[in-house]
Homo-oligomer: A and B are copies of this chain.
Amino acid sequence: MSFATRLVQAVQKTKSVTCVGLDPRKASLPAPIREAVVNDRPDEWAAAYTQFCMEIIDAVAGIVPCVKPQAAFFEQLGPAGMISLGQVVAYAREKDLLVILDGKRNDIGSTATAYADAYLGADSPWQSDSLTVSPYLGRDSIEPFVEVCEKRAAGIFVLVKTSNPGGGLLQNRETDGQTVYARVAELVTEINADRLDSHGFGPIGAVVGATYPEELAELRQAMPHSWILIPGFGAQGGAADDVKAGFLDGGLGAVVNSSRHLIFAHKRPEFADKFGDAKWQDAVRAATEEMNSALNVVGGK
């Protein structure tokens, strides 16, 4: 079953469009996790990251459709971190969560195929369900990923319009009335066109930030066959109203990511007193349920 179809089913089953971002950071780990690191060695931190992410997965399994590990934080720990990443991906899949690996990889030709094989292929050491991909190198940097996706029913999310303030520098440049991000959206729709599942979704999703609601509405129209991954909710300032335009009629078509706001919820004023470090997992669950409720008003049913 294709990745897009599996995401439809996961959203329907959990009645949630929340994606939980797994961004482990040394400085923000809850005390019980951090205390297990006694010698500041990479393998100790990697074990702490695995433990942290597994407990988050336990806290949110069944109430969200997917998780998004951020590769950079695992890579920062070196090879030990890459082992941890594999453990986290495997554990999430075991708990019936779809995995969107946020690696923003890209290259050309056979090198793009190597990245696709690395993270999505049949022999992939990480076996992610999907991967974020940067589009700067053009169509021939996207197609090798699509080929690998088709073989293992995996998916990719192409960066279209990112959530950061500086994203517009290149993405918003307009040529003959069409912005760069709109051109990327057109490309995504072209490649999806003859690869649709029974719900009308193709293997190529898109990343569109919650921080640009107008562009999100425009891009929802431009990519009718794409799942949209919407980052920038919560800590980056996006609110439920901002992401409304990302959904199709019926509430499918988008998942909204939050990382820090959920996984470090024990540090947020409204949860710190009630849960604190000792019950940080309960804070994750409460924050995730709160996000589910906020989003169910606008989409996701």
Task: State whether the Cβ of A165 lies closer than 8 Å to any Cβ in chain B.
Answer: yes
CB nearest to A162 among chain B residues: B137
- A125 and B42 in contact (CB under 8 A), knowing A105-B104, A136-B136? yes
- A75 and B114 in contact (CB under 8 A), knowing A105-B104, A138-B164, A138-B168? yes
Tell me, in angstroms, the Cα distance from A122 to B52 when the chains sit together. 25
Q: Are A115 and B72 in contact (CB under 8 A)?
A: yes
Identical chains in the assembly: 2
Task: State whether the Cβ of A106 lies closer than 8 Å to any Cβ in chain B.
Answer: yes
Of B76, B115, B183, B184, the contact of A114 (CB 8 Å cutoff) = B76
Q: Are A126 and B78 in contact (CB under 8 A)?
A: yes
Tell me, in angstroms, the Cα distance from A108 to B169 when the chains sit together. 13
CB nearest to A72 among chain B residues: B114
Selected interface stretch from A57-65, A91-99, A170-178, A270-278: A170-178
CB nearest to A163 among chain B residues: B108
Of B106, B117, B163, B170, the contact of A76 (CB 8 Å cutoff) = B117
- A79 and B79 in contact (CB under 8 A), knowing A137-B164, A173-B173? yes
Tell me, in angstroms, the Cα distance from A119 to B80 when the chains sit together. 14
Q: Are A136 and B171 in contact (CB under 8 A)?
A: yes
Task: State whether the Cβ of A282 lies closer than 8 Å to any Cβ in chain B.
Answer: no
Task: State whether the Cβ of A51 lies closer than 8 Å to any Cβ in chain B.
Answer: no
Give me the 10 closest cross-chain CB pairs, A-B, nearest first: A78-B125, A138-B166, A140-B166, A138-B169, A72-B114, A108-B164, A75-B118, A79-B82, A76-B118, A136-B136
